[in-house]
């Protein structure tokens, strides 16, 4: 008799104890009794007693406790290296199942072996649809984002598609994706240098390998977006800039990469000036100004991994 789990769920957590426990509870609450799972939690040196809470409430869970914050991609890879399931779910700790969506995407993959990676629709905390599926980064998209020309970004976010129906997509958020373990044999695991854009990089490599990625909005998962990052402006602000630079350096021409660097430098400099002028009036503006100063000094040579 095969006692191996069908799905291995890998969750990387950092100082979001309440959300993590809610996430795990929602998995078990809506789990189909015919599906066997294992849950692997990698704690990135949280200071909120997350590990103790997991051990106490869910002793069946495999818990890895890092001595330092290893970052999202590296910690996920730690989990991927020990999974036993045929299918793997990469899941953020700030997600929450609201119905049997895990069963929906699992059975869909089983019944449609031509699909390699599948992602549900993500919902905001208030139940509205979250932007979680997009086309690959392009120079034009980044220029528009930098200059707040969001009107021109509709195609990037698949406005030409019916977002309530499944379709093949370039890439989607890594907050909740399910895939066959064989994907690793074809494209490898997450690139640990691509912090904050590891999901786009993973999907890009999957596309280049002719794998099929499906956005499946008939399944829905709530995503309480970016709770860990909100605690650290250095991480949240700098990596929004660095991730695009690193992606273009890895996957595009040197000319395109240099253009992205110059656009990013200009963007960060303007933000630094604005928040520097506002910093005497509010501590949040001061902290943002410091984060943009930190970023400006590294735009031409972004650190690898999480810094």
Cβ neighbours of residue 40 closer than 8 Å, sequence gap 6 or more: 8, 9, 10, 11, 61, 62, 63, 64, 79, 82, 83
Q: What percent of the chain shows pLDDT beyond 90?
A: 81
The residue among 215 and 153 whose pLDDT is bigger is 215
Q: Given this model, what pLDDT does residue 232 score?
A: 72
Stretch 223-246: mean pLDDT: 80
Q: Given this model, what pLDDT does residue 1 score?
A: 46
Q: What angle do CA 251, 202, 107 make, to 5 degrees?
A: 150
Stretch 260-287: mean pLDDT: 94
Residue linked to tokens 């799905």: 7
Q: Is 139 helix (H, G, I), strand (E, B) or coil?
A: helix
Sorted by where each begins, the domain ranges of the chain are 7-223, 232-296
As beta bridge partners, residue 40 has: 10, 62
Stretch 23-41: mean pLDDT: 97
pLDDT at 230 exceeding the cut of 60: no
Distance from C-alpha of 89 to C-alpha of 7, rounded to nearest angstrom: 7
Q: Which has the minimum average pLDDT: 107-111, 234-238, 268-272?
A: 234-238
pLDDT at 231 exceeding the cut of 60: no
Token reading at 227: 């709770």
**pLDDT category of residue 294 using cuts at 50, 70 and 90:** very high
Pick from 43, 42, 252, 85: nearest CA to 184: 85
Q: Which has the minimum average pLDDT: 29-38, 54-63, 136-145, 239-248?
A: 136-145
Residue 169 CB neighbour total at 10 angstroms: 21
As beta bridge partners, residue 12 has: 42
Q: 7-223, what's its fold? A: Spore Coat Polysaccharide Biosynthesis Protein SpsA; Chain A (3.90.550)
Distance from C-alpha of 6 to C-alpha of 34, rounded to nearest angstrom: 10
Please write the tens of the pLDDT for every residue from 176-229: 999 999 999 999 999 998 888 999 999 999 999 999 999 999 999 999 986 555
Question: Parallel, antiparallel, or unpaired for β 7-13 and 37-43?
Answer: parallel
Stretch 163-172: mean pLDDT: 96
Q: What is the dihedral of CA 226, 231, 236, 238, to 10 degrees?
A: -170
Q: Given this model, what pLDDT does residue 229 score?
A: 56
Q: Given this model, what pLDDT does residue 195 score?
A: 84
């Amino acid at each position: 008799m095969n006692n191996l789990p069908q799905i291995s769920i890998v969750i990387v957590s950092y100082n979001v104890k309440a959300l993590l426990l809610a996430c795990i509870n929602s998995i078990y609450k809506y789990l189909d009794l015919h599906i066997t799972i294992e849950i692997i939690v990698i704690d990135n040196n949280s200071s909120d007693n997350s590990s103790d809470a997991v051990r106490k409430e869910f002793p069946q869970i495999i818990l890895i406790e890092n001595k330092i914050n290893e970052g999202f991609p590296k910690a996920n890879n730690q989990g991927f290296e020990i999974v036993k399931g045929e299918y793997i779910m990469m899941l953020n700790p700030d997600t929450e199942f609201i119905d049997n969506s895990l069963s929906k995407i699992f059975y869909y993959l089983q019944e449609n072996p031509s699909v390699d990676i599948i992602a549900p629709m993500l919902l905001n905390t208030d139940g509205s649809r979250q932007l979680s599926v997009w086309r690959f980064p392009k120079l034009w998209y980044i220029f528009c984002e930098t200059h707040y020309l969001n009107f021109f970004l509709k195609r990037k976010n698949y406005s030409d598609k019916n977002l309530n129906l499944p379709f093949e997509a370039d890439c989607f958020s890594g907050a909740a994706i399910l895939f066959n373990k064989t994907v690793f044999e074809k494209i490898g695991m997450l690139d640990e240098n691509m912090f904050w854009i590891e999901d786009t990089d993973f999907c890009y490599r999957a596309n280049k390998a002719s794998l099929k990625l499906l956005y499946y909005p008939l399944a829905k998962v709530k995503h309480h977006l970016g709770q860990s990052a909100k605690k650290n402006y250095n991480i949240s602000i700098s990596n929004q800039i660095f991730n695009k630079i690193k992606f273009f350096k890895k996957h595009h021409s040197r000319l395109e990469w240099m253009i992205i660097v110059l656009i990013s430098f200009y963007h960060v400099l303007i933000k630094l000036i604005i928040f520097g002028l506002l910093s005497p009036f509010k501590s949040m503006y001061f902290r943002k100004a410091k984060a943009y100063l930190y970023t400006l000094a590294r735009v031409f040579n972004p650190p690898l991994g999480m810094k």
